[in-house]
Amino acid sequence: MLIRNATLPDGHQRDVRVRGESIVEVGRDLDASDQHVIEATGKRLFPGMIDAHVHFRQPGYPHKETWASGSRSAAAGGVTTVVDQPNTDPPTIDGESFDQKAEFAADSVVDWGINGGVTADWIPNVLLRRRLFALGEVFLADSTGDMGIEADLFADALEAATDNDVPVTVHAEDADYFNDDAKARDDADAWSAFRTAKAEAKAVERACAVAKEHDATIHIAHTSTPEGVDIASEAGMTTEVTPHHLLLSRRDLSELGTFGRMNPPLRREKRRQKLYERVVDGTVDMIATDHAPHTREEKDASIWDAPSGVPGVETVLPLLLAEARDPDSGLTYERVRDLTARNPADVFGLPQKGAIEAGKDADLVLVDTTETSEISGETLHSKRGWTPFEGRDAVFPEWTMVRGVVVYERGDALDADDSAAQEDVFYDHQGENVRGADSERLE
Ligand SMILES: NC(=O)N[C@@H](CC(=O)O)C(=O)O
Ligand SMILES: [Zn+2]
Ligand SMILES: [Zn+2]
């Protein structure tokens, strides 16, 4: 198949030849005689996003999301690899729970990884030999679920993972620095007042110190403060920022209410701007969504009782592309490519993914950045049907390809007389474990 004359993130027009699962040639005026040609003139082609941080909620909470619904939502947003976190039920802390989750992952239309988790009951010598993507998020404070662990267990886990060459990702908040005074309040902003920026900075500092003691590197999940980013990057560690911490702040909470509750929480506008600067200037390594769906009914509670987390896997790349359309944002298409594909592939060791180059997996996303559409929760494909980004401009993919197979095609633009129907098409496809097809059985 030949994708003709697409504009790559660096602005060059190129033909891209795909054969089987791979990109085999990138160049100009490539011979198209025996090929199925996809005309892409005037459109932009991106490497599929690698989202290192999603919660697809199976096993345990299929009413919130499933691998089938979450991965379709990912494909519809241009995400071609997802990595599921361990706070499921059962938590992914041993061989059996890993294998059980891998069964569910077979429903995924995009490629996937499964992270292992750490609790007092984890079984490292079996878990760490499964085809894990990474160990983490290791919760240094409780979030959704009660997987928060103590410092000595974190040190042991770090050592075990490092000995097995398994990357480690950390949820860095330190409950010792939470502000209990906020508990007297019941407005949505109280959650941000409670789980302070200082609690993140202190947890990042401690996690990096432990990593250095063990001559290990760690990746800080969902860094929400410029302080956290600076401490981690100065310690030689990697960081990710979520779309909600990049684009939303405490100013949005009066409107969002508990739909704006997540861990770590939204920060002040000033911090958001400084975080955005670090995303633009390359201090931040990648964007990851922390796609954490909960039902409207669950969110319909007080700020102290509602669950934490927001969906994001379908809107992340579209929102970043809309930012890159705006020359004043400072965010270029090349930087978007690095944040969503090149850097996650580098940081987590996926040499076969992350770039539009001969020899790489044909994970590709075609977009038309000459126009935007408004985000509407009810048209998204997650089970959730709500988004904290309602109404914002975005650039959604025309199609998404995973290892040479088109898994998603966006329906025609809205029919003239029908404001609702968009026949988006998903094609049968089974994603694969990016860490290899099977697990070593070592029980
Ligand atoms: N981020 C959240 O607020 N919630 C996540 C857990 C987590 O990432 O801490 C979830 O699984 O719901
Ligand atoms: Zn977390
Ligand atoms: Zn998470």
Q: Which of 261, 263, 382 to mutate to test the pocket of ligand 1 (most atoms within 8 A of CB)?
A: 263
What's the Cα-to-Cα distance from 395 to each of 354, 372, 398, rounded to whole Å? 20, 5, 9
For ligand 1, say whether the CB of 143 is within 6 Å of any of its atoms.
yes
For ligand 1, say whether the CB of 5 is within 6 Å of any of its atoms.
no
Q: Measured in angstroms, how far is the CA atom of residue 221 from the centroid of ligand 3?
A: 8
Q: What is the pLDDT of residue 383?
A: 87
Atom of ligand 1 minimally distant from the CA of 137: 8
pLDDT of 317 higher than 80: yes
Give the pLDDT band of residue 422 (cuts 50, 70, 90).
low
For ligand 1, atom 9, name the residue with the nearest CA: 143
Residues with CB under 5 A from ligand 2 (ion): 137, 143, 171
Q: Is beta strand 373-374 parallel, antiparallel or unpaired with respect to 393-394?
A: antiparallel
Q: Which of 89, 248, 290 to mutate to test the pocket of ligand 1 (most atoms within 8 A of CB)?
A: 290
pLDDT of 115 higher than 50: yes
Q: Measured in angstroms, how far is the CA atom of residue 28 from the centroid of ligand 3?
A: 42
290 labelled ligand-binding: yes
pLDDT of 298 higher than 80: yes
Better-scored residue on pLDDT, 416 or 231: 231
53 labelled ligand-binding: yes
Every domain of the chain and the residues it spans: 48-348
Q: Does residue 371 have a cis bond before it (omega within 30 degrees)? A: no
Partners of residue 366 on adjacent β-strands: 45, 399
Q: Using one digit for the tens of pLDDT, what is the confidence trace for 10-60?
A: 999 999 999 999 999 999 999 998 789 999 999 999 999 999 999 999 999
Atom of ligand 1 minimally distant from the CA of 308: 3
Main-chain phi, psi angles of 26, to 5 degrees: -130, 125
Main-chain phi, psi angles of 334, to 5 degrees: -65, -40
The span from the CA of 308 to the CA of 293, in Å, is 9
Q: Measured in angstroms, how far is the CA atom of residue 33 from the centroid of ligand 2?
A: 50
222 labelled ligand-binding: yes
Q: Using one digit for the tens of pLDDT, what is the confidence trace for 377-403?
A: 999 998 888 999 999 999 999 999 999
Q: Are 375 and 315 in contact (CB under 8 A)?
A: yes
Pick the CATH number of 48-348 from 3.40.50.150, 3.40.1410.10, 3.20.20.140, 3.30.565.10: 3.20.20.140
For ligand 1, say whether the CB of 88 is within 6 Å of any of its atoms.
no
The span from the CA of 381 to the CA of 67, in Å, is 12
For ligand 1, atom 4, name the residue with the nearest CA: 309
For ligand 1, say whether the CB of 200 is within 6 Å of any of its atoms.
no
Give the pLDDT band of residue 416 (cuts 50, 70, 90).
very low
Q: What is the pLDDT of residue 414?
A: 36
Q: Which of 51, 53, 54, 55 to mutate to test the pocket of ligand 1 (most atoms within 8 A of CB)?
A: 55
Q: Using one digit for the tens of pLDDT, what is the confidence trace for 359-381?
A: 999 999 999 999 999 999 999 99
Atom of ligand 1 minimally distant from the CA of 294: 12
Atom of ligand 1 minimally distant from the CA of 57: 11
Give the pLDDT band of residue 421 (cuts 50, 70, 90).
low
Q: Tokens 């050592």 appear where?
A: 159
Q: Using one digit for the tens of pLDDT, what is the confidence trace for 185-234?
A: 999 999 999 999 999 999 999 999 999 999 999 999 999 999 999 999 99
For ligand 1, atom 2, name the residue with the nearest CA: 309
| Of residues 392, 137, 190, 147, the one with CA closest to residue 306 | 190
Q: What is the pLDDT of residue 440?
A: 54
Q: What is the pLDDT of residue 423?
A: 83
Angle at 14 between CA 8 and CA 18, to 5 degrees: 95
Q: Is beta strand 168-171 parallel, antiparallel or unpaired with respect to 364-367?
A: unpaired
For ligand 1, say whether the CB of 144 is within 6 Å of any of its atoms.
yes
Q: Are 93 and 137 in contact (CB under 8 A)?
A: no
The span from the CA of 84 to the CA of 92, in Å, is 10
179 labelled ligand-binding: no
To the query of whether residue 290 is one of the catalytic residues in this protein, the response is yes
Atom of ligand 1 minimally distant from the CA of 263: 3
Q: What does the H/E/C string look like for the chain?
A: CEEEEEECCCCCEEEEEEECCEEEEEECCCCCCCCCEEECCCCEEEECEEEEEECCCCCCCCCCCCHHHHHHHHHHCCEEEEEECCCCCCCCCCHHHHHHHHHHHCCCCCEEEECECCCCCCCHHHHCCCCCCCEEEEECCCECECCCCCHHHHHHHHHHHHHCCCCEEEECCCHHHCCHHHHHCCCCHHHHHHCCHHHHHHHHHHHHHHHHHCCCCCEECCCCCHHHHHHHHHCCCEEEECHHHHHCCHHHHHHHHHHHCCCCCCCCHHHHHHHHHHHHCCCCCEECCCECCCCHHHHCCCCCCCCCCECCCCCHHHHHHHHHHCHHHCCCHHHHHHHHHHHHHHHCCCCCCCCCCCCCECCEEEECCCCCEECCHHHCCCCCCCCCCCCCEECCCCEEEECCEEEEECCCCCCCCCCCCCCCEECCCCCCECCCCCCCCCC
Indicate which residue of 174, 290, 338, 363 is catalytic: 290
For ligand 1, say whether the CB of 292 is within 6 Å of any of its atoms.
yes
pLDDT of 178 higher than 80: yes
36 labelled ligand-binding: no
Average pLDDT, the chain: 95
